[in-house]
Structure 1
């Protein structure tokens, strides 16, 4: 496997050693500091084909998880719960649509990828306490992997997160604090207390390895489509780590020669009208977003008032000739019910934002029916039972009397 050559700042391009734990760029001359990308020495993989280097078990069968890509991940023993290699489901109604079903991951969401790899490296470095602010799903994933690694987890979540997120974090033994506020308020608490408490901050884009876990989504979707790019990728965008990770995967795939030459997918950043800082910045032609005031949407993973990587997300969307757009909660709910009743798939609200966005861009002519697109359902709909029921104005009915 290739060694990590260095960590590279996304802004000033300084090279930083990966021998010790790192957060943001320590030498960046400007504020906010740039995020750090993991860069590898791929010389050992020169001339290889992906089938030559995909990890296999003792019987020679390819691993059915994200660690099948160990050849492009850090060379450390993984803390794994079987994350990755999620289904690519072909729509029954739309010939050009594939749904990447991330709800089959451990803890039911795509967060298992990023947190699984971040906790793996924390364990490798000997870190004993980690902290995270979360809109919900990252909390459950961090709690699970921290439990598997024997690391103490401190989690800060908005008080109105889906109840499943709170229950699973408590069940895994994490130390959970509910905050009357948004994920930005939770992030402030972690930032203010981490040095005194001895926590390693594993917040979105505040360390290099969550991106590495999320980039496996890019490798997977390309492999599952026969090592070819789709025409577009729809990604529900809260913090945006998955989009940043997939774009990094596409860069690496081209460097390795594992994909056929051609235009990369158009990247579609999808948000809710109740919290749409990236979509608004895209529409205004801005290079960064402004913090969204009074964020409110039942798609809790999209309720991120100002993503730390907003400039990178906007750059990716524009370079790929994609777009950023926001859907109302009513449109999101309608798409949840549409896909449940017509495709047999119970989407998360974030995933339903992507399916609703596809319908919209098809109607406007931005995409054609024959375009091959991948829509990300980032979590299992069952994790959102309480908030989805509330959006449906659904309550438990009175039971009929049992027959005598």
Structure 2
């Protein structure tokens, strides 16, 4: 594993040391990227061969030099569609906590343990909270989770079962983020006054407000390229709430090219997928804006897409435009139709966010943005089984209340009575 050369700000591009835990750039509050000496890595490390470690840590050559807190995350299947010969589904439901968030939290919690942090906090739309709870438990670190009160019940259950401190908030993830930030600021004031021990101040592992969740998520980019024979696909569909995975994959492509690990070629079109009920990135893209505006009255059953103002919005928009991709936002009805279609015809119980990606694929084929022969990877970011309450409500499906027993058919004989 390489030593970290520095942390680079995504906005002002200043470099700072990684010798202590950092949140955002101290100069401009920009997101920090982890930078390595890629020339040294290229001289001494080769890209992974078939076999080997079956987790995201197979890419240890481009991950921080720490002892991993791992539950076996990453190296998820690339499943070919049964109906679309050029379409592949990256099935993130097989991660330890049933969603892609396990990757980022494995890296973030590994670094938190390395730095000696004792208490971590995050706002979450659901799956990131569950992942933090699991990895914090594995690391022996205290976790504080803030989620909207209407998150999928599985996410709440995870937090409680793993022993985290769970707070349900009457609001959106933006409200949860505000509470976390205000609490930490208050704790820092108390610590400065000597009324609170420094180790009792929470460390914020919010989306793009610490450098290492991107490092975990970037492994999705390494994996999809390796699983396609170290070649780029034509397009990548990514359900985009906070957008860490999309940002991480773009960083991975940049690193792979510098290392000579990927066959030369044009990078894939990056397709950011949102729900019409919460589409700040889609609106900003359509209007030609550099940043998004707060999306008022956000509502969608795809809980992970209910992020009304992503912290990394400008980065997401830059990547989509540089890649000649696009942003698609579709209504919940279309997302539900695609979810049920894939369950019944492909045997995959997609999460609503993953179904937003399959619906967007159909839409872009219909309008001619993509051709059926284009090789495409879309991400199912979690298991649909973590959303049973949300999906059932969208389907207007209720558990039958009347007991029904099987009817016995008298056939006579030795086994059954006449």
TM range (shorter): over 0.9
Q: Is the 8 A contact 1:235 1:267 kept in 2?
A: yes
Q: Distance in 2 between matches of 1:392 and 1:399?
A: 22
Range with bigger deviation, 391-400 or 275-284: 391-400
Q: CA deviation at 1:190?
A: 0.1
Q: Distance in 2 between matches of 1:258 and 1:48?
A: 13
The 5 Å alignment of 1:139-218 reads: 139-197=129-187, 198-218=201-221
Aligned partner of residue 330 in structure 1, secondary structure:
helix
1:295 offset after TM fit, Å?
Answer: 0.2
Q: Deviations over 1:175-223 (max 9, x none)?
A: 0000000000000000000143410000000000000000000000000
Once the two structures are superposed, residues 138-176 of structure 1 have per-residue CA deviations (whole angstroms, 9 ceiling, x without a partner) of 010000000000000000000000000000110000000
Q: 1:45 aligns with which of 38, 41, 60?
A: 41
Q: Distance in 1 between matches of 2:42 and 2:282?
A: 39
Partners in 2 of 1:283 and 1:325 — Cα distance? Answer: 10
TM-score by length of 2: 0.93
Asked if the contact 2:38/2:255 (under 8 Å) is kept, the reply is no
Q: Write the mapping of 1:288-367 to structure 2, written as runs, cut at 5 A.
A: 288-367=291-370
SS of residue in 1 equivalent to 2:5: strand
Q: Given that residues 236 and 353 in structure 1 are in contact (C-alpha distance below 8 angstroms), is that contact kept between their aligned partners in structure 2?
A: yes
SS in 2 for 1:379: coil
TM alignment of 1:46-195, pairs within 5 A:
46-47=42-43, 50-51=46-47, 61-195=51-185
SS in structure 2 at match of 1:46 = helix
1:236-279 Cα distance to aligned partner (Å, 9 max, x none): 00000000000000000000011111110000000000000000
Consecutive unaligned residues of structure 2, counting only runs of 5 or more, are: 188-200, 409-418
Show the counterpart of 1:11: 11
**1:94-143: CA deviation from partner (whole Å, max 9, x where unpaired):** 01100000000011000000011000000000000000000000010000
Which one of 243, 250, 254 corresponds to residue 240 of structure 1? 243
Aligned residues, how many? 394
CA contact (8 A) 2:292 2:313 kept: yes
Does 2:397 align with 1:394?
A: yes
2:39–2:259: 8 Å Cα contact kept in structure 1? Answer: no
Which secondary structure does the structure 1 equivalent of 2:238 belong to?
strand
Residues in 2 aligned to 1:126 and 1:391: alpha-carbon distance in whole angstroms: 44
Normalising by structure 1, what TM-score?
Answer: 0.96
Q: Supply the distance in 1 between the matched residues of 2:278 and 2:98 (Cα, whole angstroms).
A: 23
Distance 2:217 2:298 in 1: 25
The secondary structure found in structure 2 opposite 1:107 is coil
Question: How large is the Cα RMSD of the aligned pairs?
Answer: 1.2
Q: Distance in 2 between matches of 1:124 and 1:399?
A: 54
3-state secondary structure, aligned to 2:97: helix
SS of corresponding position for 1:4: coil
Distance across 1 between alignment mates of 2:25 and 2:392: 43
Q: Deviations over 1:56-103 (max 9, x none)?
A: 9xxxx5100000000000010000000000000000000110000000
Question: Which structure's CA Rg is the greater one?
Answer: 2
Cα deviation code 1:359-391 (max 9, x no counterpart): 000000000000000010000000000000000
> Gapped runs of 5+ residues in structure 1?
none
Q: Tell me, what secondary structure is at the counterpart of 2:328? A: strand
